[in-house]
Amino acid sequence: MSVRDTQHPIACSACNLRQLCMPAELDNEQMALVDHLVQGKRRVARGQSLFHSGMPFEALFAIRTGAFKTCMRSAQGHEQVFGFQIAGDLLGLDGFVSGQYCSDAIALEDAQVCVMPVQQLQDLSEQIPALARHLQRIMSAEIVQERSLLLLLGGMRAEERLAAFLLHLTERMAVRGFSSQELVLCMSRQDIGSCLGLQLETVSRAFGKLVDQGLIAVDKRHVRICNAVALKAKAQLA
């Protein structure tokens, strides 16, 4: 399963991802409090789940390294992927409703996450309004993010969906300092398909089409954006 390790207690105050999971406007005193919020780290091996639907909601997780998919499996065995999370993203926000996680979080590559127990989070939120507001913003962002997926599933064709997907991913990588031209996908065609409401074969064909049109170059899971303008036009966002 997974192993707790506290041997590398990198404090939030010293973390380069702080700007993503923590509010910006903290003074030193508050920062010191926040440093105690993270109760250690947890490693999750590729393919393992960080949590799954129905487990008691005990903590929120911030991704330090690696990547996850959040998904649900229906009674019929159909797996629906809701999204992909990378370093700096928060996992477990769906647990507040019922006190149980409502989805599965599965590591797409070996990962390390910061564990933030809910109780501490609640207590600290009461002391630091900025933290409470930040959580609010993050959850609101999650809502907006999922709506953009709904927009995609509701009104786009396969090629357009894939184009939008790739652009969305590069945007997020760019925020984290990566190239906005190059992209290494950490998920399978099947996962992409599930997220976009397509079969893996259709995803494969859509990749082919985009390559044929000269918009991207693909080598296995390595993707290069050749014509960002045309790609955006295709994704109907340009």
In the complex, the residues that contact its own copies under the rule CB under 8 A are 72, 74-76, 78, 80, 82, 93-97, 102-103, 122, 125-126, 129, 132-133, 135-137, 139-144, 146-147, 149-151, 153-155, 194, 197, 236-237
Q: What is the rounded CA–CA span in Å between residue 88 and residue 79?
A: 25
Shorter beta-carbon distance to its own copies: residue 86 or 152: 152
Q: How far is the CB of 130 from DNA (least distance, A)?
A: 41
Q: How far is the CB of 96 from DNA (least distance, A)?
A: 32
| Residue 74: contacted member of its own copies, DNA, none (CB under 5 to 8 Å, by partner type) | its own copies
Output the six-digit token pair for 118: 């809910």
| Residue 207: contacted member of DNA, its own copies, none (CB under 5 to 8 Å, by partner type) | DNA
Shorter beta-carbon distance to its own copies: residue 124 or 226: 124
Report H helices in the chain: 18-21, 28-35, 118-127, 129-155, 158-175, 189-196, 200-212, 228-234
Half-sphere exposure (Cβ direction) of 95: Cα atoms closer than 13 Å = 24
Q: What phi and psi, each to the nearest 5 degrees, are found at residue 123?
A: -60, -45
Q: How far is the CB of 182 from its own copies (least distance, A)?
A: 28
Q: How far is the CB of 229 from its own copies (least distance, A)?
A: 15
- Residue partners of 136: CB distance under 8 A and separation at least 6: none
Q: What is the secondary structure of 102-118 as a DSSP string? A: -SEEEESS-EEEEEEEH
Shorter beta-carbon distance to DNA: residue 135 or 195: 195
Secondary structure of 117-140 as H, E, C letters: EHHHHHHHHHHCHHHHHHHHHHHH
Q: How far is the CB of 72 from its own copies (least distance, A)?
A: 6
Shorter beta-carbon distance to its own copies: residue 47 or 99: 99
Output the six-digit token pair for 205: 């064909």
Q: What is the rounded CA–CA span in Å between residue 55 and residue 157?
A: 36
Shorter beta-carbon distance to DNA: residue 141 or 217: 217
Q: Using CB under 7 A as the criterion, which residues of the chain lie in contact with DNA when the complex forms?
A: 157-159, 188-190, 197-205, 207-208, 218, 220-221
